Structure 1
Amino acid sequence: MTFDEMTAAVSAKLVATFERRDRDLSSERNKKNSHAVKAGASGSSRALLMIVDLFKSEISDRAGIVSEQLRETSRAVGLQPIPDLEAQLRGYVETTMDAQHASLRANMVGNPPFKGTTLQNQSMIAQTTSQFDEVSKTARDGVLADMALLASEIQSAASNKVGRGDMHVNINAPVGILQTGDFASASQSITVTPDAAAEVVRALEVLEIAVSALTETAINRDELKAIIGECKAELAKDAPNKTRLSALLYGVAGTVQTTAALKPAYETFRTALSAIGIPLP
């Protein structure tokens, strides 16, 4: 099967999956809007945040689905190395995720809480919409990182030049994050025990405090806080979505790792992530 045939098969699966999720999303969105109307708070900040959180979760979940479908289908058809495989996977992911971002964003901003006209509402709308965009970008970057690793795995397996446990791959994760692997993606190899999850949450809180204490920084504190919140929410689940979680955690790492003043907090974060199988430089 050619690459184009493989991605056509993936696209067919994604269309069916996303159509079903669109229906579920519409139902959940309507419930939240109805609840806000009954409470007399359809234009409130709380109603706005509930809708935005719903769509942030959805775009992250869809990123995980894209990654999983590409991996599963490539294994099923025995995809072979081709010139520029990573670039072709990247192009497919960017096109697919950009389309999902645009569709979900348009759906999100069409909800009643986004119709507020006061300056306070407009400011809140701009802020939360930006948070959605950032979460979407982080999710897409996570899929791109996984596809870079997949392309390397396919090439290595075909050439039979790299033994198990000896692969070291520099992939296009945020800000040059290095991943190593045993022919497995970071999202598939992480193990989140309750103790490890608690350690990661504590490390995230240390990072959040450290960033808040900075007097001057190029880091967008609100966006970082939103991503950290998404990480905590995923870690609190009985069965976290590993693809989504790894993408979010890499997003946090990529945001803070080059800031010298955050080095102690970053080291704590790096140690915590190593406990669940996510290596950071």
Structure 2
Amino acid sequence: MPNNIAVVTGANSGLGLVTATELARRGDHVILAVRNTAAGERAAGEIRRAIPAARVEVRALDLASLASVRAFAEGVQTLHLLVNNAGLVLLGPRQETADGFELHLGTNFLGHFALTGLLLDRLAGARPRIVNLSSITHKGKTLDFGDLMSVRDYNASRTYGRSKLATTIFGLELDRRLRAAGSPVISVLAHPGITRSNLTPRAWEHRGALGRALSRAFLLLTQPVARGAQPQLRAATASDVRGGQFFGPAGPGEIRGRSTEVQPSRAAADPATGRRLWTAAEELTGVRYLSD
């Protein structure tokens, strides 16, 4: 519905920028929630050039800092749509957030968990919704609750996939709790397949000829950002969307293709794991909502 207020995290580039642009195009007032506000202002200018009547604003949000998450949430009085789009991919050694969380898990999952909880009672309208951005990398992963922060056993690629598994578990558990509470808010998930965002190609920039070859292969096998954003746009805007649905590309391996409903991994859909992760997230962030 037009004239909604939407918050899109990580809206200054890639999938987030496409999503923010299309929400502005349909008439939403879009808050670009970004860590780098200068980049956010450039993105807002780009949106306004494409859509002169666009209503967009930039606000600072660093998902790797719970203090920043709380400060951002305090400035939002009402909204109708929250798109938890921002994501971080690391290549090097293990890093931590300002609060001591492993950086993938802290940014991609815990920051969004806290943000959602702090904004939940401000979601309004006939069909308010929350969209969490998953990844096909969540499949084949399991969470190690004895080492959620990957202190003992760190691998950047695996840890990223686990952070996206946590995000997927969160989106599904959030849906269960919203329905149990009789809330009008719906929780939906989406993933972009493998998309030419500004994140993945950076992994090969330092690898010389091999890196260039990988980059060329990446371009051939993947889809452009505008196509990759379609599942999350469908999740955010389609009138027939139901809570708990998951959208992704229809092609083989869900790598590319038109948007369709897809299925999460068995590990992601397990209610017992959902409850366990929720409890852990509440303890780690200090943000409690929709508790048993």
Q: Same fold (TM over 0.5)?
A: no
**Greater radius of gyration (CA):** 1
TM-score, structure 2 normalization: 0.29
Judging by fraction of residues, say which structure has more helix: 1
Judging by fraction of residues, say which structure has more strand: 2
